[in-house]
Amino acid sequence: MNTSLRLSGGALSVLLLLNSCTTNPVTGKKEVTLVSESQEVAMGQQSDPAVTAQFGLYPDKKLQNFIDDKGQKMAAISHRRNLKYQFKIVDSPVINAFAVPGGYVYFTRGIMAHFNNEAQFAGVLGHEIGHITARHTAQQQTKAIFGQVGLIGAMILSPRVAEFGQQAMQGMQLLFLKFGRDAERQSDELGVAYSSQIGYDASQMADFFQTLSREQQKSGAGAIPDFLSTHPNPEDRYNTVKRLAAEWKQKNASPSTKMVVNRDQYLKLIDGLVYGEDPKQGFVENSMFYHPELKFQFPVPQGWKHQNTPQQFQMADPAGKALLILTTAPGNSVDEATLGINKQLNLQLIDSRRTTINGFPTMVFTADQVQQDQQTGQQVAGVRVLGHVIQDGKTIYALLGVSAPADFPNYTATFTNTAAGFQRLTDADKLNRQPERIKIKTAQLSTTLAQALTQQGVPQARHEEMAILNGMQLTDRLGVGSFYKVVGR
| Inter-CA distances, 286 with 190, 308, 317, 425, Å | 46, 16, 17, 15
Cα separation, 261 vs 123, whole angstroms: 11
> Would you state the pLDDT for residue 233?
56
| Inter-CA distances, 330 with 144, 327, 344, 396, Å | 33, 10, 11, 7
Residue 25 and residue 38 in one domain: no
Cα separation, 439 vs 462, whole angstroms: 15
Q: Which amino acid is at 218?
A: K
Cα 179–chain centre separation: 16
- Condensed to tens digits (0 to 9), the pLDDT of residues 265-295 reads 999 999 999 999 899 999 999 999 999 999 9
- For residue 167, being part of any structural domain is answered with yes
Residue 333 and residue 356 in one domain: yes
Task: Tell me which residue range forms the domain holding 468.
Answer: 448-488
Residue 183 and residue 59 in one domain: yes
- For residue 441, being part of any structural domain is answered with no
> Would you state the pLDDT for residue 414?
98
Backbone φ and ψ for 404, nearest 5 degrees, come out as: -65, 150
> Would you state the pLDDT for residue 136?
65
Residue 1 and residue 123 in one domain: no
Query: Average of pLDDT values for 407-411?
Result: 96
Residue 325 and residue 469 in one domain: no
- For residue 166, being part of any structural domain is answered with yes
Residue 424 has pLDDT above 70, yes or no: yes
Residue 96 has pLDDT above 50, yes or no: yes
- Condensed to tens digits (0 to 9), the pLDDT of residues 355-408 reads 999 999 999 999 998 776 656 666 666 899 999 999 999 999 999 999 999 999
Which range is least confidently modeled, 223-232, 288-297, 322-331?
223-232
Q: What is the 3 state secondary structure string of the chain? A: CCHHHHHHHHHHHHHHHHCCEEECCCCCCEEECCCCHHHHHHHHHHHHHHHHHHHCECCCHHHHHHHHHHHHHHHHCCCCCCCCCEEEEECCCCCCEEEECCCEEEEEHHHHHHCCCHHHHHHHHHHHHHHHHCCHHHHHHHHCCCEEECCCCCCCCCHHHHHHHHHHCCCCCEEECCCCHHHHHHHHHHHHHHHHHCCECCCHHHHHHHHHHHHHHHHCCCCCCHHHHHCCCCCCHHHHHHHHHHHHHHHHCCCCCCCECCHHHHHHHCCCCEECCCHHHCEEECCEEEECCCCEEEECCCCCEEEECCCEEEEECCCCCEEEEEEECCCCCHHHHHHHHHHHCCEEEEEEEEEEECCEEEEEEEEEEEEECCCCCCEEEEEEEEEEEEEECCEEEEEEEEECCCCHHHHHHHHHHHHHCCEECCCHHHHCCCCEEEEEEECCCCEEHHHHHHHCCCCHHHHHHHHHHHCCCCCCEECCCCEEEEEEC
Confidence of residue 146 (pLDDT cuts 50, 70, 90): very low
Residue 141 and residue 79 in one domain: yes
Rounded-to-10 torsion of CA 32, 37, 38, 43? 90
- Residue 345 in contact with residue 387, Cβ under 8 Å? no
- C-alpha angle with apex 188: 108 to 56, nearest 5 degrees? 15
HSE (CB half, 13 Å, CA atoms) of 191?
A: 26
**Better-scored residue on pLDDT, 100 or 381:** 100
- Residue 390 in contact with residue 419, Cβ under 8 Å? yes
Task: List own/partner pairs for 35-38 with CB under 8 A and 24 or more apart.
Answer: 35/101, 35/138, 35/141, 35/142
**Better-scored residue on pLDDT, 28 or 317:** 317
Residue 255 and residue 113 in one domain: yes
Residue 10 and residue 95 in one domain: no
**Better-scored residue on pLDDT, 210 or 117:** 117
- For residue 57, being part of any structural domain is answered with yes
Q: Which amino acid is at 251?
A: K
Among residues 240, 269, 298, the one where a domain terminates is 269
Count Cβ neighbours within 10 Å for each residue of 31-50 and write b for 16 or more, e otherwise.
Answer: eebebebeebbebbbebbeb
Among residues 269, 290, 322, the one where a domain terminates is 269
Q: What is the 3 state secondary structure string of 86-136? A: EEEEECCCCCCEEEECCCEEEEEHHHHHHCCCHHHHHHHHHHHHHHHHCCH
> Would you state the pLDDT for residue 455?
96
| Inter-CA distances, 196 with 74, 116, 242, 388, 423, Å | 10, 17, 12, 55, 55
Residue 141 has pLDDT above 90, yes or no: no
Residue 5 and residue 117 in one domain: no
Residue 389 and residue 316 in one domain: yes
Residue 5 has pLDDT above 50, yes or no: no
- For residue 407, being part of any structural domain is answered with yes
Q: What is the mean pLDDT of the chain?
A: 83
Q: Is 392 exposed, middle or buried (0-12, 13-18, 19+ CB in 10 A)?
A: middle
Strands 305-308 and 395-403: unpaired
**Better-scored residue on pLDDT, 22 or 108:** 108
> Would you state the pLDDT for residue 130?
93
Among residues 250, 269, 288, the one where a domain terminates is 269
Residue 251 and residue 343 in one domain: no
- Residue 92 in contact with residue 174, Cβ under 8 Å? no
> Would you state the pLDDT for residue 375?
64
Q: How many domains does the chain have?
A: 4
Residue 255 and residue 360 in one domain: no
Residue 224 has pLDDT above 70, yes or no: no
Q: Which amino acid is at 229?
A: S
- Condensed to tens digits (0 to 9), the pLDDT of residues 30-86 reads 554 556 778 888 888 888 898 888 888 999 999 999 999 999 999 999 989 999 999
Q: Which amino acid is at 353?
A: R
Rounded-to-10 torsion of CA 250, 114, 121, 178? 100
Query: Average of pLDDT values for 221-229?
Result: 46
Q: Is-above-0.85 flag for pTM?
A: no
- Residue 338 in contact with residue 176, Cβ under 8 Å? no
Residue 3 has pLDDT above 50, yes or no: no
> Would you state the pLDDT for residue 223?
42
- Condensed to tens digits (0 to 9), the pLDDT of residues 436-474 reads 999 999 999 999 999 999 999 999 999 999 999 999 999
- Condensed to tens digits (0 to 9), the pLDDT of residues 346-357 reads 899 999 999 999
- For residue 442, being part of any structural domain is answered with no
- For residue 103, being part of any structural domain is answered with yes
